[in-house]
Structure 1
Amino acid sequence: MAPSSSMLGSSFGRWLDIPSFLVFIIVFLVLVDFAKNRRPKNFPPGPLALPFFGNMLNIDFKKAHLDFTKLAEAYGDVYSVRLGGWIVVLNGFKTVKEALVNQGDSLEDRPQDPLTTEISGNFGVISTNGYLWRQQRRFALLTLKNFGVGKRSLEFIILEEFSHLSKEITNLNGKPFNPHLMMNNAVSNIICSLVFGHRFQYSDKDFQMMMQLFDQALLLETSIWARVYNSMPGLMSLLPGPHQTLKKIWETVKDFLRVEIEQHKKDRDPEEPRDYIDCYLNEIAKNREDYAAGFSEENLVMCTLDLFVAGSETTSTTLRWALLYMIKYPEIQEKVQAEIDRVIGQSRQPSMADRANLPYTDAVLHEIQRIGNIVPLSLARMTTKDVRIGEHVIPKGTEVIPNLTSVMFDKNEWATPHSFNPEHFLNKEGKFVKHPAFMPFSAGKRVCLGESLARMELFLFFTSLMQKFTFTMPAGERPMMGFRFGITLSPQSQLICATLRHQEHN
C-alpha cells in the first residue's frame, strides 16, 4: 500500500528535527576524527587527546616549556601529544643527547608545517631540508667565517659596537632605562655589519620598528594561534586573528630586507664582495644551472632573515637576562667585576684571549645561559626514518620537540638545577669546566648556525658591560624575573639603572 500523505509528512518532519540532526553530525565527526587521528600503534604514550582539540587544552601556550616538562613526570622522557598532528617530546639530557647527537642523521630535518611553509616559501637556512638546506648552511658558514666569525678581526667590530652602546648608556647619567631595544640594536649591528656591510644608528626609527616586529613575531610563532592554524590551515587562512598579524610582520621584515638587497645590486663590485649579500648575489650567478641548490633572490631574503634570528635574538635576550641576574645577585656582580679588574683592569678593553684567565666570569655567563633557558623547546625536528629512542620507536616523518628546558634543569645533571649557581661550571680549584648537559644552542647537525658568533658576542659584551658599569634597579624596586614565552624565553619589560665604575678612568 502506498504511504499516505500524513505518513510522509511525519517522516519529513523527523528529518527536519534540527537538534537531532546536529547531534548526529557531531557524533559522526567525532568518530571520524577518532578513527583518523588516534594515537598510532606502538607510539610513545601520552595524555588522552580530545577530538578536534587534541592536547591543546593540556598546554598553556604562555608557558608551554613548563607544561611539557611536567608531562614527562607522568608519561616518561619520551611521550607524545597531539597538537594538530602527533608530536613526540623528548625530555632529559640522556634522551635528548641520544636523539640529537647519537642519532643525529635521523633527526636532521625540520617539519614542514603549513604556517612556516607559507611564511618561508620553503626558502631559508633554518626551516628547509635536504640538498637545499645543506648548500645554504654550508655557504652561510663559509661566508661568515670569511668575514671574521670566529676570528680576531670580528672582535674589533664587536668592541667598536660596544663603544657606541657604552656612550648611549653613559649619556643616561644613571637614569632608569629599558635595555630591550638598546641591547637588540647593539647585538643586531654585528650581524648587520656581516650581512649588510653597515650598522644602524640607535636613533634609526625604521630599524627600531624592525626590532619590535621581530620580538612580536617570535612570541606569536609559538602561540596557540599558530598551532590552530597548522591544524586547520584552509579555514584559518580565511579568518582574522594573530596568525594573520604574524604573516604581515614577516612580510614587512622581508620588504625591509629587499630594499637592502636592491641597494647592493646597484652599487656592488662582483670582484670585491663586501658582505654576505654581495657574496650571495655572486653565488646566484654561479649556480644558475644548479636549481636545486636554491640560490635565488627570494631565497636570499629568507636566508638573510634567518641569519638575523640566529645571530642576534638569542644573544640580545641572553644579555638582558645577564643584567637582571647581576642586579638580583649584586654579590656575584661584584665578584665578576673584581676578577675583571684584576685580570684586565680599566686601561684596555677585554679580548677573547682573556677568557681563559676569567674562569669565574665565564662560569657566571654560562650559568646565565643555563638558567635563562633562552630557547626552551629548541626548534622542532622531524624523523627521516624510523628511530628507536629508549624503548620507543618513532616512525619516519614524525615531528619531534627536543625539550631543552628539561635538559637545562635536569636534576640528574645539575647540583642545584633551579638555583642560580655559577659553581655548576667550576671545579674545586675554581677553574672553569665544561658541562656535558649545557646545550643552549641545541645539538647535532642542526646546532645553531650562529653559535660561534653568539659565544664571542656574549663574552665580549658581558665582560665589557661589567667592566664599565654597575647595574641596579631604580630605588625601591626589585627585578622581575618572570618570562615571556616564545621561540625565545625573554625577560619582562622593565627599567634598570647603570652607574659608571671607576669614573676617574673615564
Structure 2
Amino acid sequence: MDLSLVLVFVFVFLVSIWFTRKRQNLPPGPRTVPWLGSIGLMQKLRKSKKRPHEVFFEESKRYGDIWCFFIGKQPYIVLNGYDIIHEAIVKKAQCFSGRPIFGNRPLPFRKFPGAEGILTNPHFGPGWRELRRFTLQALRDFGVGKTSIEEKVAAEVDELTRVIQGWEGRPGKLNPELQNVVANVILGIVFGKRYDYDDPEFADVQQLTNTVVSGSGPISTTNVFPRFIARLFNKKEDVIMNKRREAFQQMGDYIMSQIKEHESSFDENSIRDFVDIYLRSQKHGSEDERKHITMGNMFRVIFDLFLAGSETTYATLDWAFLQMIRNPEVQTRCQEEIAQVIGERAVKYADKDKLTYVNATIMEIHRMGNIVPLNVAHRATEAATLGCYDIPKNAIILPSIYSASMDSRKWSQPETFNPDRFLSENKKLQKEDSLIPFSVGPRTCLGEPLARMELFLVFTNLLQRFTFSPERQGALPSLEARPNQITNMPSAYSLVARPRS
C-alpha cells in the first residue's frame, strides 16, 4: 500500500477520534492515543517518584477540578476538591455509586459466580443494600460500638503496652505491632479468635493482607489490557499483580478454612462471631436474607472486612505516632488534656467528647494521612452530566480524597500539621465538611464506627502511658509514603517510647 495513503488514513482516523471526543463533551485531559490511551500520563506515573494521587493533584492544576484520561479505551474521570466529589457521589449518588467491572477477577472470587460482596460490588441495587444492611446489623449485634468490642481493643492495647515496655527505652518499630492490634480485633469479630503476636500463622495472615493491597489499584494497566500488553507499560506492576493473585488465593483458602471450621462446630444457642451470625441467618433468616446472604457473599464480605477494617486503621495509627514524634508540642498538649480530664485510669470510648484537643489532633491526622487518597474507585452506572461535562456510562470515577484534604481553597497552609484548625475561637471542636477520610455518600466506609473507636482508644491510651520521640534527636523520620501501595502507608521508621509516670 502506498505510504501516503497510509498516512492519510492514520490522520483521518486520529482526527475522527478527536472530534468524537469533542462531541462527547468529555472533561479536558492529557493527549490520548487511540486504543492505547493516555500513554504520556501513564509513563509519567511510572517514572515519577511521587504517588499517583500526588501526580493527579498536580494535573488538576492544569485541567481543573474534573479531568479525564484513558487507559486503553477505558475513560477515567478524576474529581478534585470536596465540592465536585460531593456533587458526584452524594447529590448524584444514583449515577456514580457503581464500582468498576474488571475482567481479571482474583481466582477465589470466581468460585462464587454472582457473589459480589459490598466493597467492590459493581451494582448499586437492592441486593447490595440488603447485604450492607445485614452486615452492619451483624456488626452492631456482635458489639461494634459497644462495651464488648471496647474490651477487646483495651486488651490489645494492654498487650501492646507490654511489648513496648520490653523495648526498655531502645528504638523499636511500632508499625508491625499496631497491625497486630488491629488485626486481632478484626479476627475476634469475624472468627472469634486472636493470635499471640509471635504466632507464625498470624504473621502469614498479616503478610497476605499487605500484599493484597499493594500495586496501583484501579489505575493499573493490568486491569484493562491483556497481560502481555500490560507488561510493555509497566513490568514492575505486572510482577506485583502476580504476587497479589497468589495472595488472594492464599487469603481465600484461609477464610474458607475458618468458615468450614465454624460450620462443623456451629451452635445456634451460642453465637460466637460474625461467621456464626451468617450461619444462623441461613437457618432462620427471612427469604430475602437467604437470597442475598449466600456463602459466596459472606466470603466476599469477610474479605472486605479484612481489607477495609485492618489495613486502613493501622495505617492511620502509624501516621498518628509519626506525627507525634515530628510535632512534640502537639503530643504534649494531648497528654496534658488526657491527664487533666481522665487522670490515671484507662481512657474509655465514653470519654471521647471530653477530649477536645485530642479529637482535633485525630482529625488532623486523618487529613494529613490520606489513607485511601484516591478513594475506592466508583463507576458511572449511567450516562450523566457532572459540572458542565458529559460522563459516559461505565466511566471509572476517581474521587481524590487527597485533593479534598489538601485544597488551599478550603484549608489554610494545608501542608502544615495543625490540629488548631479544627478548633473555634472559644476552643470548641468544629466540623469541616472537606474532611472525608471515610468517603461520603452511600458507599461510605463500612468499618467507620469500628475504626473510629480503635483509633481513639489506641491513640489516647498509648499517649497516656508513653512519650514518643525520634530514634535519634534532630533526625526526624520522613513523611514520604511507601511506594507500590494502594493505601497511603508511611515509610518504615523507628521511634523511642519512654514510660510516663
Residue in structure 1 matched with residue 433 of structure 2 by the alignment: 436
CA 1:37/1:205 → structure 2, altered by over 3 Å: closer, same or farther?
farther
Query: Contact conserved, 2:106 with 2:248, CA < 8 A, in 1?
Result: no
For residue 131 of structure 1, report the CA deviation from its aligned partner.
Answer: 3.3
The alpha-carbon distance between structure 1 residues 171 and 229, as it changes in their structure 2 partners (threshold 3 A), is same
Q: Alignment partner for residue 73 of structure 1, among 28, 45, 61?
A: 61
Decide which of 261, 264, 268 is 1:263's aligned counterpart: 261
Query: What does 1:328-339 align with in structure 2 at a 5 Å threshold?
Result: 328-339=326-337
1:290 deviates by 5.9
Matched, 1:54 2:37: yes
Q: Which residue of 1 aligns with 2:338?
A: 340
Question: How many residues matched?
Answer: 482
Q: Is the deviation greater in 427-436 or in 152-161? A: 152-161
1:83 and 2:71 matched = yes
Matches within 5 A, 1:263-412: 263-285=261-283, 293-346=291-344, 348-412=345-409
2:164 corresponds to 1:169: yes
User: Hey, what's the Cα distance between the residues in 2 that align with 1:291 and 1:310?
Assistant: 23
2:215 maps to 220
- Amino acid across the alignment from 2:310: S
Specify the code of the residue in structure 2 equivalent to 1:447.
T
Gaps of 5+ in 2: none
Q: Quick check: 1:137 aligned with 2:126?
A: no
1:104 is matched with 93
How far, CA to CA, are the matches of 1:159 and 1:101 in structure 2? Answer: 35
Structure 2 SS opposite 1:190: helix
- Equivalent-residue separation in structure 2 for 1:430 and 1:249 (angstroms): 47
Give the alignment partner of residue 209 of structure 1, picking from 204, 209, 216.
204
CA distance 1:30–1:278, shift in 2 (3 Å): farther
Q: Distance in 2 between matches of 1:289 and 1:37?
A: 52
The secondary structure found in structure 2 opposite 1:161 is helix
Q: Is the 8 A contact 2:213 2:307 kept in 1?
A: no
Cα deviation for residue 284 of structure 1 reads: 3.4
CA RMSD after TM alignment? 3.0
| Corresponding position: 1:480 with 2:478 | yes
Please name the residue that 2:119 is paired with. 126
Using a 3 Å threshold, how does the CA distance of structure 1 residues 244 and 31 change in structure 2: closer, same or farther?
A: farther
Indicate conservation of the 8 Å contact 1:174/1:498, yes or no.
yes
Give the residue type in structure 2 aligned to 1:133. W
CA deviations on 1:316-345 (whole Å, 9 max, x unpaired) are 000000010000011111111111111111
Structure 2 residue identity aligned to 1:283 = S
Partner amino acid, structure 1, of 2:255: L
| CA separation of 1:300 and 1:190: change in aligned 2, threshold 3 A | same
Identity among equivalent positions (%) equals 34
Q: What amino acid does structure 1 have at the position aligned with 2:77?
A: V
Q: Cα–Cα, structure 1 residues 284 and 32, in superposed 2: closer, same or farther, change >3 Å?
A: farther
User: Taking structure 1 as reference, are residues 387 and 499 closer, same or farther at Cα in structure 2, changes over 3 Å only?
Assistant: same
User: How big is the shift at 1:176?
Assistant: 1.6
Task: Label 1:100 to 1:223 Cα distance change in 2 as closer, same or farther (>3 A).
Answer: closer
1:281-319 deviations in whole A, cap 9, x for unaligned?
223345797699443333322211111112111110000
1:289/1:433 CA distance change after superposition, 3 Å? closer
Residue pair 1:319, 1:462 contacting (<8 A) in 2 also: yes
Question: How far has the Cα of 1:229 moved from its partner?
Answer: 3.9
Q: Does the CA-based 8 Å contact 1:195-1:277 persist in structure 2?
A: yes
Change (3 A) 1:333 1:95: same
Whole-angstrom CA distance in 2 between matches of 1:92 and 1:228: 28
Counterpart CA distance in 2 for 1:345 and 1:153 is: 23
* Larger Rg computed on CA atoms: 1
In the alignment, which residue of structure 1 is the partner of 2:443? Answer: 446
Q: Cα gap change, 1:289/1:141 in structure 2, threshold over 3 Å: closer, same or farther? A: closer
Confirm or deny: 8 A CA contact 1:147 1:194 kept in the other structure.
yes
Letter in 1 for 2:445: C
TM-aligned CA deviation for residue 119 of structure 1: 6.0
- Helix, strand or coil: the match of 1:216? helix
Letter of the aligned partner of 1:280 in structure 2?
A: Y
Moved more, 297-306 or 69-78: 297-306
Question: Contact 1:287–1:293 at 8 Å: present in 2 too?
Answer: no
Residue number in structure 2 paired with 1:252: 250
